[in-house]
Every structure is written in structure tokens, then in C-alpha cells.
Amino acid sequence: MSLQDHLLARIAQDGPMSVADFMTDCLLHPTDGYYTTRDPLGTQGDFITAPEISQMFGELIGLSLAQSWLDQRHPPNFVLAELGPGRGTLMADLLRATSRVPGFHDAAEIVLLEVSPTLRSIQAQTLKGYDPRWIDSVADLPEAPLFLIANEFFDALPIRQFQRTGNGWRERLIGAEGNALIWGLGPLAEQVALKDRLYDTKDGDVVELCAAAIPVITVIAGRIATHGGAGVIVDYGDWHSQGDTFQALRAHERADPLAVPGQADLTAHVDFEPLALATRAAGCAHSRLTPQGVFLERLGITTRAQTLSAQLDGSKRDDLIAAHRRLTHPEEMGNLFKVLGLYPSPSSPPPGLEP
């Protein structure tokens, strides 16, 4: 049965489905899910991410986390974790850059949260020699100081969408017409979780909720509050996302999310305010939400780019200059992507971020 048939059968049986259920099936279906079946990254794939654009991204984040580790009196045993490590490129760059920080590697247990068997095996290749361990859930993160990075992980978590009608909300649902998947609206209902969104929306506006993000950030914030550590969360989005940000990307082009189930990457912008509130509720501090370009500039990306480019010439040098621009420029990824840092209350945020 194809994924399309599976979705049609599910709708025939249970009625129209939420965007969250659709995302979960399309991305994570055990045999036909997008992430379960392929390596989606890079020029041959569907999308490209910051660590795949340049080694500088992982290097600078690594040095920021290592500095936090030093500032917190270098705990002798800690967890160095990544959520959704893709090809393992960021972690490899991070580890190379931190190899000169005395004691950092010896004290680190490398733990990776990854759902995709295909990507797990690529990560094992990329990180050969480092002995990482994989987990299925953040609940499996050891009770120890936690230094964590998550780049473009939260945008893959399932969201629900609601359209405002008067002072109530109708959920955007996916149903079927013949063999085609189509959009529809559920019945008008009050939504307690959307009470605060009546102030910044008007009739007809769409808002999104990502319930799955809350238990994830709560565990991470809890570990950091209890044992020390730091978290760097990078994703596209803002304090409040506005409107319909649900999108499908296939071969680097926007696609219709309902047309190619399981064949395209599905994401939504991350709402950082609920992540920040859950962090505080778990007793952990967080930084200001900071644009990626500002964060990387503060960490010295321009100096790093100059050092690297002095060793290059021709098209390699042009590529590096283009990568620097792409990661930092406000019209490219510099402003669309934001960074939230987590840290234990008495210490300071990881370098590059402000309290």
C-alpha cells in the first residue's frame, strides 16, 4: 500500500485528519515515511541546512558550547547531545573544532536523537571514531550535565492549524475527494491553548500549535536546570509565527504538501514563545531570541571566514564567501533563522547570546 493509499484508508475510516497526524504519517511512517526512507539533505536531496552550507556553522556552535562547559567549571562527565543530526556534519565540525579544548572530548558522552535508520547509518559513518550512542526519545537523555544543539529539528515536529472565525477557531483538516487529498475546516470550537492569540489575530487568520515541542523542551530544560549545561536551539520562525507556515520542499522547490505525501520534506516555522515559557516553567533560564546572523557574527564568523579563505583560491574561495553571506545576511538565512539559548539560572548564556 502506498502512503497515499494509507492516508486515504485512514481518512475513510476515521474522517478528516489534523495537519499533525498528516505530518507524522508523511514524515515518520515506518515503511514509507519521508525521513524513514531516505537521506533528504544536500544538492541531490530536497533541502540544504546551515551545517551542510559551511563547516563554520558547527565549528562556532561547538566553541560556544565548549566555552559554556569551561564557564561552568568543566564538569568531568557530561552529555554532548544533538537532536535530529541529519548527516552528522554539524557534530563532526563541532568535535573537530573542540578537539583543542583540553578535557572536553574525554568528558563528553555523545548522544544523538534520530528517528531515521537511513540517517543513523550516515551519522555512524560521519562520526566514526567518536563512539556516539543513539536514543529514541529525549526521556532517554542521561541524568547528567547536558550540552545540546538542535538545528532544524523543531520545524519537523507536527503542528495543528486553526483558522479564526469570530472569537472561536476551526481546525484546518485534511480530507479526501475521490483519490485526492483536500483541505477542509472542522467545526467551530473554543481553543483554550489559543486564548492569547485572540489579541494578535483577526477573523480568518490562521495560527499554528506545536504540542509535540513542549515535552521535548521541558526534558532538556529540566536536565540543564538540575545538572547544568547549555542548549542552543536554531530554527526558522519567530516569537509568534503568524499565518500558514506549513510547507513542503522537494528538490529545493516548494511543493503542494497534499500532492506528494512522503515524497517531500514537511516543516512549519517554530513558535519560540511556547518553548521559552516551557523552559522557564522547568526552572531553566533562556537567552533572548537572536537572529542567526547576529549570533554567528558575535561568535566571529567573519574572522573565521577570512582565515579559511586565505587558504583557498578560485571557485572554492567564492563558495566560502557565498556561504558566509548565506548564513548571515538578513535577506538570506541571517534573519529568518533564530537562536534560543538555554542555561542554568546563575550562569550566563552560551557565547553569542544575551540574557
Contact call for residues 207 and 164 (beta carbons, < 8 A): yes
Interaction between residue 35 and ligand SAH (CB under 6 A): yes
The CB-of-177 to ligand SAH minimum distance in angstroms stands at: 29
Interaction between residue 59 and ligand SAH (CB under 6 A): no
Residues 6 or more apart from 128 whose CB is under 8 A from it? none
Contact call for residues 107 and 98 (beta carbons, < 8 A): no
Cβ-proximal residue to ligand SAH, closest one: 84
Please give the grid coordinates belonging to residue 129. 571514531
Interaction between residue 152 and ligand SAH (CB under 6 A): yes
The CB-of-52 to ligand SAH minimum distance in angstroms stands at: 6
Interaction between residue 169 and ligand SAH (CB under 6 A): no
Interaction between residue 292 and ligand SAH (CB under 6 A): no
* Phi-psi map region of 122: left, alpha, beta (phi>0 left; psi -120 to 50 alpha): alpha
Orientation of helix 117-126 relative to helix 89-98, angle to 10°: 30
In the range 83-102, which residues lie near ligand SAH by CB under 6 A? 84-86, 90
Q: Is the dihedral of CA 93, 345, 144, 339 positive or negative?
A: negative
Interaction between residue 276 and ligand SAH (CB under 6 A): no
Burial class (CB in 10 A: 0-12, 13-18, 19+), 10: middle
In the range 221-260, which residues lie near ligand SAH by CB under 6 A? none
Interaction between residue 69 and ligand SAH (CB under 6 A): no
Closer residue to ligand SAH (CB): 52 or 59: 52
Interaction between residue 213 and ligand SAH (CB under 6 A): no
Query: Could you list the residues that contact ligand SAH (CB under 6 A)?
Result: 35, 41, 49, 51-52, 84-86, 90, 113-116, 119, 151-153, 156
